[in-house]
Amino acid sequence: MVKVHDVLVSDLDRSRSLNPIAGEVNDRGLFPDAPRGCQFRIAVGKGVGKTQPVNTRPASLAPVSNRGWSVTFAGMGINLALGVLYTWSMFKAAIGKEFGWKDAQLNDPYALCCLVFAFSMILAGRCQDKAGPRATASLGGFLVGAGLVLISTTQSYMMWVLGFGVLVGMGLGFGYSSATPAALKWFPKAKTGLIAGLVVAGFGLAPVYLAPTSEYLLGHFGLLTSMRIYGIAFMIIVCALAQFLVNPPPGYVAAAPKAVAGDNRAALNLRPSEILATPTFWLLWVIYFIGSGAGLMVISSVSGMAKKTMGSAAFVAVAVMALGNAGGRICAGLLSDKIGRRWTLLLVLLLQAALMLVAIPVTGSEHGPKFVIVFVATLIGFNYGANLALFPSYAKDLWGLKTFGTNYGILFTAWGVGGFVLSRLQQMLFASSKHFNSSFITAAILLFLGAALAFLLPRRPPGPQAATE
């Protein structure tokens, strides 16, 4: 029996041929003169030896231009706004001074925000898969703005838990989940780590401008007015950039480098129920919980940690840590495309564990050189950020893109639970001891455990050449 496949070939693909069985693009270049947006009919069956273009192009079929980079940078811009979460350590100091909350309460809105952010990613991922990235991101921008405007009207602990913890957390989930899947669909599998790293780098990079901006706003207008300004600004920015997010048309296949010789692994597109039945999912979940939670323990309190050494200039540590956070996402994505996800993840976890131990004497010194704590904070941010590029890349490699939004949303719950549990634990440990040593030791032990678990991950999971688009 002969099977016929209709494939829409984009600008990137038009000088390359298609392997209709594997769904891959290779470099044999059978039709270098094919018109842009041409539709190919591919016959597969006994006695059929080649692929030929046929005149089946509908009159309504418009040429396909690759919008991958515009989608990527729009997603990065959205995440630059949503990264307000990482400046919580500065808001927390103002809350303690102006509102008079108990020490053990100061991290609660942040911790709940992390938890809601993560679990809303499941619903948001499904929304992204069904309704598309534009509507999903716009809803996220509205929720973040509404939450920040709500908390700008009150000092109530419960209202901050509701406004920042629930509304902002949901908004982050919807905004964050919309950008990465859309961008990844425009690019070949060999660029998965790079593109994922670039999109999520915006979230980590946000404190570079938000830390000095928050320092200025808090000093001149106070905490409540600052929240109102942020709420209005972020609602407008996210909803505007959301209009640039678009999925490629059905049948789009991004140009890819020549497949690795001898790599004949089948392409996968697993549903959420299927990934939950695999041991690899739960192993990844536990490692993600550890890697993200340990980083968020430090990020949630980095301003307070730096105050002993840097005084009023502690916001610099927040901003520079963000540079490391963003850089880690891009560099880890690139490195994992070259040496593999598992080895990159192992390096990240081991280095982060060592840094937690180094941070004990650094944050405990009142007269040490300021650049040391900034340097350590930058490296901790770098390793934390690497997780946010590696795990979405793992999700695409292992489970495909068809339901990527939902699949990664489920895996991302590890980030939220880790942030909630470990940042809450860190605040309780500090409230009882008035120093950060026990927090760093706890994080280091968990990270060494995570590194050991990383050895159990498949040595050669379906990598950049395996998952279907």
Please tell me whether residue 6 adopts helix, strand or coil conformation.
Answer: strand
User: Could you give the angle at the alpha carbon of 397 between the alpha carbons of 394 and 400, nearest 5°?
Assistant: 115
Write out the E strands in 201-326.
Answer: none
Rounded mean pLDDT, 348-367: 83
Give the confidence band of 265 by pLDDT, cuts at 50, 70, 90. very low
Q: What confidence score (pLDDT) does residue 423 get? A: 77
pLDDT at 440 over 60: yes
Residue 97 makes CB contacts below 8 A (sequence gap 6+) with: none
Question: What gap in Å lies between CA 126 and CA 132, rounded to an integer?
Answer: 9
Q: Say which DSSP state 366 is in.
A: S
pLDDT at 197 over 70: yes
Backbone torsions φ then ψ of 206, nearest 5 degrees: -50, -45
Question: What gap in Å lies between CA 178 and CA 100, rounded to an integer?
Answer: 37
Rounded mean pLDDT, 320-333: 84
Question: What gap in Å lies between CA 116 and CA 155, rounded to an integer?
Answer: 21
Rounded mean pLDDT, 345-369: 82
Q: What confidence score (pLDDT) does residue 44 get? A: 46
Give exposure, 230-250, as e/b (b: 16+ Cβ within 10 Å).
Answer: bbeebbebbbebbebbbbbee
Rounded to an integer, what is the distance from CA 125 to the centroid of its chain?
13
Rounded mean pLDDT, 220-224: 91
pLDDT at 9 over 90: no
Write out the E strands in 248-383.
Answer: none
pLDDT at 405 over 70: yes
Q: What confidence score (pLDDT) does residue 436 get? A: 75
- Residue extents of the structural domains in the chain: 3-53, 68-246+270-454
The sign of the CA dihedral 237, 243, 244, 245 is: positive
Question: What gap in Å lies between CA 72 and CA 82, rounded to an integer?
Answer: 15
Q: What confidence score (pLDDT) does residue 469 get? A: 35
Q: Are the C-beta atoms of residues 270 and 404 closer than 8 Å to each other?
A: no
Q: What confidence score (pLDDT) does residue 256 get? A: 61
Name the class of domain 68-246+270-454. mainly alpha
Give the confidence band of 149 by pLDDT, cuts at 50, 70, 90. very high
Of 84-98, 304-318, 402-416, minimum mean pLDDT range: 304-318
Give the confidence band of 376 by pLDDT, cuts at 50, 70, 90. confident
Tens of pLDDT, residue by residue over 120-133, are: 988 988 888 888 89
What type of residue sits at position 331?
A: C
Give the residue with greater pLDDT, 184 vs 243. Answer: 243
CA 401 to each of CA 198, 281, 361, 375: distance values in angstroms, whole numbers, following the listed order: 18, 16, 45, 37
Q: What confidence score (pLDDT) does residue 226 get? A: 93
Tens of pLDDT, residue by residue over 451-467, are: 999 988 886 554 444 43
Q: The pTM is what?
A: 0.69
Question: What gap in Å lies between CA 242 and CA 363, rounded to an integer?
Answer: 40
Rounded mean pLDDT, 29-57: 45
Question: What gap in Å lies between CA 327 and CA 305, rounded to an integer?
Answer: 22
Rounded to an integer, what is the distance from CA 121 to the centroid of its chain?
11
Percent of the chain with pLDDT over 70: 75
Give the residue with greater pLDDT, 272 vs 10. Answer: 272
Tens of pLDDT, residue by residue over 271-291, are: 888 999 999 999 999 999 999
Mean pLDDT, the chain, integer: 78
